[in-house]
Amino acid sequence: MTTAPQALPPSAPLQQDAAIIGLVGLAHAASHFGHLLLPLMFPVFMTEFGLSYSQVGLLMSTFFVVSGLGQAAAGFAVDKVGARPMLFLALGLFVVACLAASMVTSYAALFGVAALAGLGNATFHPVDFTILNQRVSVARLGHAFSVHGLTGNLGWAAAPVFFAGISAWYHWRTAYLAAALMYAGILLLMLLQRDKLLTHTVRHHPDNPVEHSMAFMKLPVVWWCFAFFLLSTMTLAVVQSFAVSILKAMHGISFETATLTITAYMLCGALGIFIGGFVAATSRHSDRVVALSMSVAAMLLALCGTGLFGPTLTMMVLAATGFAVGIGGPSRDMMIKKAAPKGATGRVYGLVYSGLDTGFAISPIIFGAFMDRGWYGATLLGAAAVLLLSVVAALGVGRRTETVLPPA
């Protein structure tokens, strides 16, 4: 059983909080970078292995099915053994996945890479939020969530530049070797700073129903949170997996420019998250902030899907969609924190964020079929419609939060 760290005062030294937030942010960036290990190389894989959009989409479904199942289980593991060993394991799995990707010679081998990377991705959210909730001062928690979301978007933004640049200068296999070295370096840093990542574990008493390890699953608000993540992530999966191809098909935009548009989307998302951190720290209605930001994002995405704009304006509006989503990011995390019963942080975040993986898993299958039929505008319109459904889920969380057990 992990030794419990010293309890932090209501306001710990800024330097101490900043170091913990920085380490967790770096881990989160590494996780989001890993989401794009395969999608960015879809055009390469389709050429080298003769694959269709549906086939490459199935690779991402594999990644997120493994990640989703693993994440739900990882939440229990984090509460039982602590966050730190689970973080080390996750980074090690990403190292192995990148090394395997550099040597693939078939479509079947890509499924192995997807499974390894998905398993590595599984632990990050329960790990990250357990560390932040236990080790960061309450007064800085809203900003911690902001930095956490921001660094995730920076990880997404860095991946296209990283892979496009190294692939252009050397070879796509070299890019995967470089990624393996990057993950190994991050793992080494975490090992050196392991004292800042220590969390306490939770002992459950079977005779106390409130503390029973599965009691939280009976709370409707937890499943509304799950539904929100599933729906909102389906839209993000469309942007990550198919936006490059959509921009090329609808507007004749080059692969390089379209890829940079995805980076712009993520950077705008990061800016939105930064601003959203201040909103989350001052707003008492996290669900309403989330609902409004997602509604605006859905409207912008739908406008892109109409095809009414030219290439430049379409790229600008798509980037602005990332900003709108980003504004709601920290409030989303505060919304989940309010819904988490005391002592169940890892398990709640594990289950709720497995909704994210579920959305990533099913979206490429559904919208990959749209893409194979040439329904490029309909793909964006469908993604916008799903995002509007997530607004309903967010408001459902808000209505039910006041009935849950005291927050962790």
User: In this predicted model, what pLDDT tens digit does every residue of 264-293 receive, in sequence order?
Assistant: 888 898 888 888 878 877 777 887 888 899
CATH number at residue 187: 1.20.1250.20
Mean pLDDT of 281-308: 88
pTM above 0.75, yes or no: no
Q: Which domain holds residue 49?
A: 15-198+210-401
Residue 7 covered by a domain: no
The confidence score (pLDDT) of residue 2 equals: 40
Question: Within a domain: residue 104?
Answer: yes
Does 5 map to a domain? no
Number of domains in the chain: 1
Confidence of residue 403 (pLDDT cuts 50, 70, 90): very low
| Closest C-alpha to 115, from 43, 59, 36, 170 | 59
Cβ neighbourhood burial of 29 (10 Å; 0-12, 13-18, 19+): buried
pLDDT category of residue 405 using cuts at 50, 70 and 90: very low
If you ran DSSP here, which 8-state letter would residue 407 be given? B
Can you give the pLDDT at residue 190? 93
Domain-embedded: residue 382: yes
- pLDDT tens track for 380-390: 999 999 999 99
Q: What is the mean pLDDT of the chain?
A: 82
Asked whether residue 300 is domain-assigned, the answer is: yes
CA-based nearest residue to 112, from 122, 95, 126, 97: 97
Asked, for residue 4, whether it belongs to a domain, the answer is no
With respect to residue 28, please indicate whether it lies within any of the assigned structural domains.
Answer: yes
Asked whether residue 113 is assigned to any structural domain, the reply reads yes
